[in-house]
Every structure is written in C-alpha cells, then in structure tokens.
Amino acid sequence: MIEIERKFLVTSSEYRNSAISKERIVQGFLNTDPERTVRVRIKERSGFLTVKGKSNATGTTRFEWEKEILVAEAEQLISLCKPVILKKTRYNVPYAGHLFEVDEFHGANEGLVIAEVELKSETEIFEKPSWLGIEITGDIRYYNSQLSKNPWSEYGFNVGNKP
Amino acid sequence: MIEIERKFLVTSSEYRNSAISKERIVQGFLNTDPERTVRVRIKERSGFLTVKGKSNATGTTRFEWEKEILVAEAEQLISLCKPVILKKTRYNVPYAGHLFEVDEFHGANEGLVIAEVELKSETEIFEKPSWLGIEITGDIRYYNSQLSKNPWSEYGFNVGNKP
C-alpha cells in the first residue's frame, strides 16, 4: 500500500495530556537505504517486518508493506540489524479528527520528538495542534532508518525541539 | 533457524535425468549484505521473504529466517529490489539419501550451475554424485545475493562448469 503522511517536530510536551495510549517501540533496520528500507519492529507484545520504498518528491507518500511476525522472530532479526537499535515511546494523540503519533526517542536520539499524521490524500487538510513545530516531511535526516545510523545527538542537526 | 549446507559447481547435466521435480525461481534482494541479506523469492506459485545472517568461518552454517507471503506481495517487493533480478531453474535431485538442489541460472548468469545439499550437521557424510564438481561452500562470489550484483558472465570468475 501507499502510505501518505506528514511529519513535524514538536515544541512542547502538551501532547501527553491528550494521548489515548502509549507504546514502547524497539526497532532495527536490516537495510537503511531509503529506496528499500527493511525495518524490524517490536511494539509492546507484537512483532512486525516492514519494507518501505522510495518516497515521492515531497516526501509525503511512500510504498509500505508490513507483515506481523512473532516477537521471538523479531528479536532474532533485530540481532542481525545494523547498529544502533532505536528505542522510542509512542503517544497516540487524537486531535480534531486526526490521529497524531508522537514519538519520543531514547538513547542516542534522546530529546528528539517527532509527530506524524497519516492522511487519506496528499492534499487533505488537517488542523494543527498548538504543540506542532516545523514540518520535516521528506527530510531524510529524520527518517527513523537514518536516525539509527546518524543519531540526533551526534549528527549535529540540533534544531531545538526539546520539549 | 540455522541452515547447514554445502555448495558445489556441477560438471555435467546428468542430474537432469534423476531429478524428481523442477521449479522456476525468480528472486531479488532488498539487501545483499552477507550479514543481513534480505531476499524476495517467487517459486512457481508461492512467494517468500527470507533473511539470512552471517555464515560461520567455513561458510557451512548460516542463520536463516523465512516467511511465506502472497505472490502479489512478492512481486511488489521484487520491484523495489536492487538490480539484477535473478532467474533460475531448480532441479530437485535425490542421491544416496540426500536431496541435491541444482540451480541452473539464466540471464546474466546463464551457464552457471550450482548444486547445494542441506545437511543435519557440519560433519555429516554424504555420497557425491558423479556430476558434482569443485566445492564452493563459503565462497561469497557464488552467494545468490552477490550474483545479483556481480553476475557470473561479467565478474570474470569463469572457472568453467558449463554442462
């Protein structure tokens, strides 16, 4: 399927107050190439293998294929992944009819918070919550695959969104 | 699971006479890194996604994880793979209590024929059929992932096993 989403930095931790759920995510990459990213994820007690293709010019749409796998399988596959393994806490935050997924990164990306909103079309209008900062859709540095290679703390693109 | 196998070149096409079945295989690689190879395969009417890890020092054993997927999914994933897509015909050949998988490569690897035998242990003894040539276990050039990048015809390691 084609995934349509926009990504933003986050300017305060207010989103936590309106979150309806929170998940621990651990993920690694078998390939970080943006044209054929292969991600292994453990989200709470579920495992997933995901393949993502190249995004369009604006970075809004991207082919994505995902398969649920056993957590034990995901653990084995994560052990084959390139360093580093990403750890993050995801807050699911509904706002004005859209669901925002807000990821607080840990480890070498501690301090980085990214909000994503999935859309039905590239031109779909959505209301922005007050804690939404600058848009980073299509900025490859903020792809999770790239953050696993070039963490926020080391990469030097600290554009200041610490809540 | 851990896969234990040995690989050989093939010196004649005699194996065809004792084959019990024959399959068309089309496969691509989402990652050709020998430490985290990600393969997408269509074998006749079935699709598979396979992850392989690093092999041991002799190249005999290797972590392998495989999941069956829909052919339509495999086709989509193959379209994301790095060139070239490998095509081969596999002959399943039983010999003296072991099954030999003999792959005849097509396209840029036309003329290359590789036989593999899966073993229960690294030291398991097996009888060699007369058409079995030199052993290439652990020779990374003959990994399918590498043949997709550096085909036999172009790579210049023509060691002569044309049947």
**What percent of chain B lies above the pLDDT cut of 70?**
94
- Determine the average pLDDT of the residues in A117-128: 95
Which band of pLDDT confidence, cut at 50, 70 and 90, is reported for residue B93? very high
pLDDT in tens, A26-54: 999 999 999 999 999 999 999 999 999 99
Q: Which residues of B touch A76 (CB under 8 A)?
A: 63, 65
Kindly indicate whether the ipTM for this predicted assembly is greater than 0.85, answering yes or no: yes
Note the residue count of chain B.
163
By the 8 A CB rule, do A102 and A19 touch?
yes
Q: A4 CB contacts (<8 Å, ≥6 apart)?
A: A60, A61, A118, A119, A120, A121, A122, A124
Structural domains in chain A, CATH included, are 2-155 (2.40.320.10)
Question: Which of B38, B63, B69 has the CB atom closest to A38's CB atom?
Answer: B38
Rounded Cα gap, residues B67 and B149, in angstroms: 24
- Inter-chain touch B65–A53, beta carbons under 8 Å: no
Q: Chain B: residue nearest A50 by CA?
A: B77
Picking from B138, B27, B158, the residue whose alpha carbon sits closest to that of residue B90 is B27
- Inter-chain touch A51–B80, beta carbons under 8 Å: yes
Please tell me the distance in Å from B95's CA to the nearest CA on chain A: 34
**Touching check for B119 and chain A: CB below 8 Å?**
no
Rounded Cα gap, residues A47 and B119, in angstroms: 30
Question: Which of B53, B80, B82 has the CB atom closest to A80's CB atom?
Answer: B53
Which band of pLDDT confidence, cut at 50, 70 and 90, is reported for residue B162? very low
Rounded Cα gap, residues B61 and B6, in angstroms: 9
pLDDT in tens, B46-85: 999 999 999 998 889 999 999 999 999 999 999 999 888 9
**Touching check for A67 and chain B: CB below 8 Å?**
yes
Q: Which residues of A touch B78 (CB under 8 A)?
A: none
Which band of pLDDT confidence, cut at 50, 70 and 90, is reported for residue B160? very low
Q: Which residues of A touch B65 (CB under 8 A)?
A: 73, 76-77
Question: Which of B30, B35, B73 has the CB atom closest to A80's CB atom?
Answer: B35
Rounded Cα gap, residues B83 and B74, in angstroms: 15
For chain B, positions 23-42, list CB contacts with chain A under 8 A: 30-31, 33, 35-36, 38
